[in-house]
Amino acid sequence: MFDFLRRKLLGHSGGRSRSEQARPGVQLLASVLVCFPEIEAVSYDPREGMLTMDFVVRVQLPPAEIEAFAAFLAESIETFHVLEESLATAMDFSYEQHEGLTILHLARRMDELSERELSLTMQLLTERFGEKLLVDTHGAETLDAEFRMLQHETLERMLVAVREIPLRDRLVGIRERDQVVVYNR
């Protein structure tokens, strides 16, 4: 109520602190990881406006198979957006291979994402890679059904909110045993 006095007397600008500004982004990335145990890590780059999700497949996939899946995923996301009467303007798909593992990186524009698109993506990954896809055993499927539904609704509201007030901080979220950790880079 007396913020104007506090600013005048104490010299505070009255603006939100850097940690308060980052909080919505931290909550968003944490929600993505809680809702989708298939995602091993997630990062957001405000310069590009892209949310990058990392998935681990427990085999070394042939490059032709990865490229075929990337094309299928791109077509599926584009079709989803046509049906939703929206646009999917940018998608980047890359991968890296390590001994016995393939890490898939999917980057999507944050302002185009929805919880439904993320759910579709997880379904396509699960159908394609099955048991080979690394899924956190402490993930959303082990949560109470009501809590899981609430998390998905919260995620959708947060994705809509970042369209109106874009995130300014570069953030990274990872899984660490049975926890989700999000930090500002």
pLDDT at residue 151, as a whole number: 84
Query: Over 50: is that where the pLDDT of 19 sits?
Result: no
pLDDT at residue 104, as a whole number: 98
C-beta of residue 108 within 8 angstroms of C-beta of residue 59: no
What's the full length of the chain, in residues? 185
Better-predicted residue by pLDDT, 162 or 65:
65
Query: Over 90: is that where the pLDDT of 15 sits?
Result: no
In a 10 Å sphere around its CB, with 0-12 CB exposed, 13-18 middle and 19+ buried, how is residue 78 labelled?
Answer: middle
C-beta of residue 182 within 8 angstroms of C-beta of residue 26: yes
Angle at 170 (CA atoms; ends 137, 125), nearest 5 degrees: 35
What are the residues facing 133 on neighbouring strands?
Answer: 57
What are the residues facing 31 on neighbouring strands?
Answer: none
Better-predicted residue by pLDDT, 61 or 4:
61
Q: Residue 23: pLDDT band by 50, 70, 90 thresholds? A: confident
Nearest alpha-carbon partner for 152 in 163, 165, 164, 139: 139
Angle at 65 (CA atoms; ends 90, 60), nearest 5 degrees: 105
Better-predicted residue by pLDDT, 72 or 12:
72
pLDDT at residue 2, as a whole number: 43
C-beta of residue 55 within 8 angstroms of C-beta of residue 38: yes
Q: Is the pTM of this model over 0.95?
A: no
C-beta of residue 95 within 8 angstroms of C-beta of residue 60: no
Output the six-digit token pair for 153: 């609704």
Backbone Cα Rg of the chain: 18
Query: Over 70: is that where the pLDDT of 182 sits?
Result: yes
Query: Over 60: is that where the pLDDT of 5 sits?
Result: no
